[in-house]
Chains A and B, each alone.
Chain A
Amino acid sequence: MTKRDQLGMTMFLIAEAVFFFLLILACAYFHALPRLYAPWGWILTALLLAGSVSIWRGWRWGAVALDAVFLVGLAGTPFAMLTAVLGLFVLAGVIALAVIPASGRRALSLYWYFFTAVWLVIFGVAGQV
Chain B
Amino acid sequence: MSAWLCAIDHKRVGILYMLSALLFFLAGGMEAMVMRAQLAAPNLKLVAPEVYNQMFTMHGTTMIFLVAMPVLTGFGVYLVPLMIGANEMALPRLGALSFWLQLFGGVLLYISFASGSAPDAGWFSYAPLSEKPFSGGAGLDYWALALLLITGGSIGSAVNLIVTIATSRAPGMTMRLVPLFVWSTFITSVMIIFALPALAASLVMLLSDRLLHARFFDPAQGGSPLLWQHYFWIFGHPEVYIVVLPAFGMISEIIPVFSRKTIFGYPLMATSSVAIAFLSYGVWAHHMFAVALGRNFLAVFAASSMLIAVPTGMKIFSWIATMWGGAIRFTTAMLFAVAFLLEFTIGGLSGVAFATVPVDWQMTDTYFVVAHIHYVLFGGTVFALFAGAYYWFPKISGRMLDESLGRWNFWLVVIGFNAAFFVQHFLGLLGMRRRVYTYPDLPWFGALNVISTIGAAILAFGILLFCANVLMSLYFGAPAGDDPWNAWTLEWAAASPPPLENFAEIPRVRSRRPLWDLKHPEAPDWTRA
Q: Is A1 an interface residue (CB 8 A)?
A: no
Task: Tell whether A15 is near chain B: CB-to-CB under 8 Å.
Answer: yes
The count of chain A contact residues (Cβ–Cβ below 8 Å) is 20
CB distance from B396 to the nearest CB of A (A): 26
Compute how far the CA of A15 lies from the CA of B198 in the bound complex, rounded to whole angstroms. 9
Interface check B358, CB cutoff 8 A: no
Binds B, one of A16-24, A44-52, A57-65, A113-121: A16-24
List CB contacts (< 8 Å) of B202-228 with chain A: 204-205, 208, 212, 214-216, 222-224, 227
Q: Mark A64-95, 1 if CB is under 8 A from B, else 0.
A: 00000000000000000100010000000000
Chain A positions 1-50 with a Cβ under 8 Å from a chain B Cβ = 3-5, 7-8, 11-12, 14-16, 18-19, 22-23, 26, 29-30, 32
Contact present for B197 and A19 (CB under 8 Å): yes
A7 touches B162 (CB 8 A): yes
Query: Most chain-B Cβ atoms within 10 A of its Cβ — which of A14, A22, A81, A85?
Result: A22
Cα separation A12 to B158 with both chains bound (whole Å) = 9
Report whether A30 and B197 are in contact in the complex, using a CB–CB cutoff of 8 Å: no
Let me know if B159 and A22 touch, CB within 8 A: no
Asked if A8 contacts B227 (CB within 8 A), the reply is no
- Most B-side CB within 10 Å, residue of A3, A8, A16: A8
Verify A3–B167 contact, CB threshold 8 A.
Answer: yes
- If the complex has contacts A15-B196, A81-B214, are A8 and B159 also in contact, measured as CB distance less than 8 A? yes
Q: Are A19 and B158 in contact (CB-based, < 8 A)? A: no
Given A26-B205, A81-B214, A85-B204, A15 and B91 touching (CB < 8 A)?
no
| B198 nearest CB neighbor, chain A only | A22
Interface range on chain B: under 10, 10 to 19, 20 to 34, or 35 or more? 20 to 34
Judging by beta carbons under 8 Å apart, are A18 and B205 in contact? no
Instruction: Identify the interface centre among B94, B167, B193, B194: most chain A CB within 10 Å of its CB.
Output: B193
Question: B202's closest neighbor in chain A, by CB?
Answer: A22
Contact B201 A26 (CB under 8 A): yes
CA–CA, A8 and B98, complex, Å: 13
List of B residues within 8 angstroms of A30 by Cβ:
215-216, 222-224, 227
B216 and A4 contacting across the interface, CB-CB below 8 Å: no
A81 surroundings in chain B (CB, below 8 A): 204-205, 208, 212, 214
Contacts A8-B90, A14-B193: A22 and B201 contacting too (C-beta < 8 A)?
Answer: yes
Let me know if A32 and B216 touch, CB within 8 A: yes
- Distance of A18 Cα from B235 Cα, bound (Å): 11
- Whether the Cβ atoms of B222 and A4 lie closer than 8 Å is no
B37 to chain A, nearest CB (A): 41
Q: Are B90 and A22 in contact (CB under 8 A)?
A: no
Q: Which residues of B contact A22 (CB under 8 A)?
A: 197-198, 201, 231, 234
A14 to B158, CA, bound (A): 12
Say whether B155 contacts A15, CB under 8 Å.
Answer: yes
Q: Which residues of B have CB within 8 Å of A85? A: 204
B197 contacts across to A, CB distance below 8 A: 15-16, 18-19, 22
Q: Does B200 contact A (CB under 8 A)?
A: yes
Q: Is the CB of B167 within 8 A of A11?
A: no
Say how far B123's CB is from chain A's closest CB, in angstroms.
Answer: 20
Instruction: Considering the complex, give the chain B residue whose CB is closest to the CB of A31.
Output: B222
Cβ–Cβ < 8 Å partners of B201 in chain A: 19, 22-23, 26
Please report the C-alpha to C-alpha distance between residue A12 and residue B214 in the assembled complex, in whole angstroms. 28
Residue of A nearest to B94 (CB): A8
The minimal Cβ–Cβ distance linking A34 to chain B, given in whole angstroms, is: 12
Interface string of B160-178 (1 = CB under 8 A from A): 1011001100000000000
Q: How far is the CB of A30 from chain B (nearest CB, A)?
A: 6
Given A22-B201, A23-B201, A23-B204, A12 and B159 contact (CB-CB distance below 8 Å)? yes
Question: Which of chain B's residues have a CB closer than 8 A to the CB of A26?
Answer: 201, 205, 216, 227, 231
B253 to chain A, nearest CB (A): 25
- Complex interface: chain B residues within 8 A of A15 (CB): 155, 159, 193-194, 196-197
Chain B residues lying within 8 Å of A5, measured Cβ to Cβ, are: 91
User: Considering the chains assembled together, what is the distance between the CA atoms of A18 and B198 in angstroms?
Assistant: 7
Minimum C-beta distance from B161 to chain A (A): 10
Cβ contacts under 8 Å, B215 to chain A: 30, 32
Closest-CB distance, B5 to chain A (whole angstroms): 22
Q: Which of B163, B204, B222 contacts A7 (CB 8 A)?
A: B163
Per-position 1/0 for A89-123, Cβ under 8 A of B: 00000000000000000000000000000000000
4 tightest A-B CB contacts, nearest first: A19-B197, A18-B197, A22-B201, A11-B159
- Partner-B contacts on A (CB < 8 A): 3-5, 7-8, 11-12, 14-16, 18-19, 22-23, 26, 29-30, 32, 81, 85
- The 25 sampled A-B contact pairs (Cβ below 8 Å) are A4-B163, A5-B91, A8-B91, A8-B94, A8-B159, A11-B193, A14-B193, A15-B194, A16-B197, A18-B193, A18-B194, A19-B197, A19-B201, A22-B198, A22-B201, A22-B234, A23-B201, A23-B204, A26-B201, A26-B216, A26-B231, A30-B216, A30-B223, A32-B214, A85-B204
Sample of 13 further A-B pairs with CB below 8 A, known A8-B90, A30-B222:
A3-B167, A8-B91, A8-B159, A11-B159, A11-B163, A14-B194, A15-B194, A18-B194, A26-B205, A26-B216, A26-B231, A29-B227, A85-B204
